[in-house]
A = this chain, B = another copy of it.
């Protein structure tokens, strides 16, 4: 009998680390979570990643040696060999040889992928993108990233930078400032960072919102779950902000539909995970209002079907693909 191989997938975000163990078919065996604490530096973050993997192994009652390979998704630019993180602003990293560093401790093959590209791989293999030849993913989290699948393959573009949908300009000229230095990028109006920035500013300007109580007066603690609770409680400010996010996300989806005519636009990330049921109908309505009509026929706008797991699934899949 051939023994089953296992793969580990890590989603290394600016806020949290998710680590999971999967069997050869992508079945989730265990899943652990930890705060990232990027302010403590690369070495500490790597220790926390390794701890998180060990905890996931323990939860699956598997020995360390059961893991054939590890895939890790990072929020940044990864070199084309899948070894080095060139730049990851939310981790404060530059040129970190992540694969080598993890391999020297874990003694297994390590593949580094961009987190959003990992999520797109996961959606294509296990989520609502399964079986589709062409789709576009948009992940709304701390930032706003995307992945494009053409002919059933992740499309990386000429220099590996395809899918930067968060930096498509949607409000020319007078749009809000984006972290990238430009104005009016989709990320500047529709990411969780943009949402939080606007809510904090309005509360500081005296606007009432349950958000303040929900995060015990500490506005640095606003997360997607708090936004979801406030939205469901009917909070005026949060509803107004989320509805604007839906409006602009729909415009972004429409731009991608007009340009690429995919079979589906698939939405994921923490904000969608928390509020997708309320947001998807509004995003869809806005998208249909901004596409040129005939291309919109039969194009689906939907969630990933994977909740928070798209990234860890895709990272493990990337590891498995390099480990035949």
Contact = CB atoms under 8 A, between A and B. Distances in A.
A159 B293 contact: no
A150 interface: yes
Interface string A165-199: 10111111100000011100000000000000000
Interface stretch (A22-30, A117-125, A253-261, A311-319): A253-261
> How big is the A interface, by class?
35 or more
A140 to B, nearest CB: 16
Interface stretch (A50-58, A220-228, A277-285, A294-302): A294-302
A290 B169 contact: yes
A239 interface: no
B261 A158 contact: yes
Contacts of A256: 259
Contacts of A290: 169, 182
A298 B157 contact: no
A62 interface: no
A77 B161 CA distance: 31
Contact of A157 (B86, B182, B251, B261): B261
A171 B168 contact: no
A208 interface: no
A157 B292 contact: no
Contact of A259 (B164, B298, B299): B164
A167 B262 contact: no
Contact of A159 (B158, B161, B165, B298): B298
B169 A261 contact: no
Contacts of A295: 157, 159, 161, 164
Contact of A248 (B157, B158, B172, B259): B172
A156 B172 CA distance: 28
Interface of A: 77, 86-87, 133-134, 146, 148, 150-151, 155-165, 167-173, 180-182, 247-248, 251, 254-256, 258-263, 289-295, 297-299
10 contacts: A134-B157, A159-B294, A164-B258, A168-B259, A169-B170, A169-B254, A169-B290, A170-B170, A172-B248, A259-B260
